[in-house]
């Protein structure tokens, strides 16, 4: 890595010798595979089967390093999860970097290492990429875009559309919501909270793979990222023209997230996650899926949090801990701490 120097200069993006060094000594070095090594304009990929899932996402998180992950692991897991919840088996990824002049090479290496680790663990290859360096102040340290391709078996094609969702189906969540959003907030140092809270940033493919293996009754899957669990269940209600009922007493809870939310007046159901999936499953299969999920690390604290109903179509009703009921609507604007 010595050849690269200490920090990114504008020349690392000019297409010349330094760009080549960055690509070969850092990116190809860690992302190593036969497609990338070709260094052609496009990766030429062998694909069999009829249905391809294709997704893209950009990552601009601040801070770039946070408890439980960094912008690199997030960029890989985020796109893998989008592929996995579509019912596909992720195969190939592309990576685009936009780097601010002056960014430390050692930081970039840390990011690239964790990207390679996540990709390897998931058995996917990073087959093409791009790097741009922009003048200081034109971007914030580093932005990453990842796109991904996965293959979907015919029987799983309808999962992302939700057309099989019906009244009576149970809704499962694989653990406490809000860990990523609150870990980031804590890492920003705004509120001076001290806790061991970590982002839940993780690849959900092993868990989702297991769910699809053990049950043919899965009617919908979605990872609850920005906007949180509340946003996903609202999407189900609107998209599938059904009612959704969530029971607050059944929600898995992370005590640190809960305390921070109580103090700030936030609702954990609206806070971002990077390792949580909402599973909608036929009632007859619900406990079987629940038990299978609990056997996998990322699903150990799965709970059935609610069900699909034929009442109040298009709306989500939350049964509160106190026994009252209220509408759980989509988030408008950002959650702000209460001031008194």
Partner 1 sequence: MKAGDFPFVDEYRDEKSVKKIARQIKDISKKRINLMEVCGGHTMAIHKNGLQDFLPENITLLSGPGCPVCVSSQRFVDHAIAIGRFPEIILTTYGDLIRVPGSVSSLEKEKGKGIEIRIVYSVLEALEIAKANKKKKVVFLGIGFETTAPASAATIIQAEMQKIHNFFLLSAHKVMPPALETLAKEDTQIDGFIAPGHVSAITGYGIYRKLSDVYGKAVVISGFEPLDILQSVLMLVKQIESKLFKVENEYTRVVRPEGNLKAQTLLNRVFTPENAEWRGLGWVPESGLSVSDEFSAFDATRHFLVSLPKQEYPKGCSCGEILTGKKKPSDCKLFSVVCTPINPIGACMVSSEGTCSIFYNYKA
Residues in contact with partner 1 by the rule CB under 8 A = 176, 190-191, 252-255, 258-259, 262, 265, 267, 315, 318, 320-327, 329, 332-340
Tell the smallest beta-carbon distance from residue 290 to partner 1 (Å). Answer: 19
**Closer of 11 and 315 to partner 1 (Cβ):** 315
**Burial track 249-276 (b if 16+ CB lie within 10 A, e otherwise):** eebebbebbeebbeebebbbbbbbbbbb
CB of 323 to partner 1, least distance (A): 4
Q: Which two tokens stand for residue 146?
A: 């990842």
Neighbours of 319 (CB within 10 A): 17
Q: How far is the CB of 196 from partner 1 (least distance, A)?
A: 12
Distances in whole angstroms, Cα of residue 127 to Cα of each of 14, 43, 121, 206: 22, 6, 16, 21
If the CB atoms of residues 46 and 324 are measured against partner 1, the closer one turns out to be 324
CB of 138 to partner 1, least distance (A): 19
Indicate the residue among 153 and 329 with the shorter CB distance to partner 1.
329
* Closest to partner 1 by CB, 131 or 186: 186
- Of 208 and 229, the one with the shorter C-beta distance to partner 1 is 229
d(CA 52, CA 214): 22
Using alpha carbons, select from 81, 63, 21, 77 the residue that is nearest to residue 278. 81
DSSP state of 35: H
Smallest gap from Cβ 252 to partner 1, in A, equals 8
The CA distance from 129 to 121, in Å, is 19
| 320 Ramachandran zone, left/alpha/beta (phi>0; psi -120 to 50) | beta
HEC secondary structure over 251-293: CCCCHHHHHHHHHHCCCHHHCCCCCCEEEEECHHHHHHHHHHH
d(CA 55, CA 77): 12
What is the nearest approach in angstroms of partner 1 to the Cβ of residue 256? 10
Q: Which is nearer to partner 1, 162 or 176 (CB)?
A: 176
**Min separation Cβ 108 and partner 1, Å:** 28
Q: Rounded CA gap, 147 and 129, in Å?
A: 10
User: Tokens 């087959």 correspond to what residue?
Assistant: 127
Give yes or no for a contact between 179 and 261, defined as CB atoms under 8 angstroms apart: no
Which CB, 168 or 314, lies closer to partner 1?
314
Q: Which is nearer to partner 1, 125 or 276 (CB)?
A: 276
Task: Quote the tokens at residue 63.
Answer: 């801070």
Least distance from partner 1 to the Cβ atom of residue 99, Å? 27
């Amino acid at each position: 890595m010595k050849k690269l120097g200490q920090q990114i200069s504008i020349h690392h993006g000019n297409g010349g010798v330094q760009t080549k060094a960055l690509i070969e000594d850092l990116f190809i070095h860690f992302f190593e595979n036969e497609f990338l090594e070709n260094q052609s304009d496009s990766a030429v990929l062998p694909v069999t089967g009829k249905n391809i899932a294709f997704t893209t996402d950009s990552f601009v998180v601040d801070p770039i390093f946070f408890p439980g992950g960094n912008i690199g692991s997030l960029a890989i897991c985020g796109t893998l999860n989008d592929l996995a919840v579509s019912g596909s088996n992720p195969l190939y990824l592309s990576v685009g970097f936009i780097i601010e002049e002056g960014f430390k090479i050692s930081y970039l290496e840390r990011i690239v290492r964790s990207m390679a680790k996540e990709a390897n663990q998931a058995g996917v290859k990073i087959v093409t990429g791009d790097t741009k360096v922009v003048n200081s102040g034109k971007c914030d340290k580093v932005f990453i875009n990842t796109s991904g391709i996965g293959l979907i078996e015919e029987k799983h094609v309808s999962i992302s559309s939700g057309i099989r969702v019906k009244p009576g189906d149970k809704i499962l969540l694989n653990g406490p919501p809000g860990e990523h959003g609150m870990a980031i907030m804590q890492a920003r140092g705004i509120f001076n909270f001290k806790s061991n809270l970590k982002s839940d940033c993780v690849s959900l493919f092993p868990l989702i793979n297991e769910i699809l293996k053990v049950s043919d009754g899965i009617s919908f899957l979605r990872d609850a990222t920005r906007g949180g669990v509340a946003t996903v269940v609202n999407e189900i209600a609107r998209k599938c023209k059904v009612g959704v009922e969530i029971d607050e007493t059944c929600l898995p809870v992370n005590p640190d997230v809960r305390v921070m939310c109580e103090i700030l007046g936030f609702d954990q159901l609206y806070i971002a996650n990077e390792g949580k999936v909402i599973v909608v499953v036929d009632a007859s299969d619900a406990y079987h899926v629940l038990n299978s999920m609990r056997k996998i690390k990322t699903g150990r604290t799965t709970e059935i949090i609610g069900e699909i109903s034929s009442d109040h179509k298009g709306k989500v009703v939350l049964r509160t801990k106190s026994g009252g009921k209220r509408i759980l609507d989509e988030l408008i604007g950002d959650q702000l701490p209460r001031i008194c």
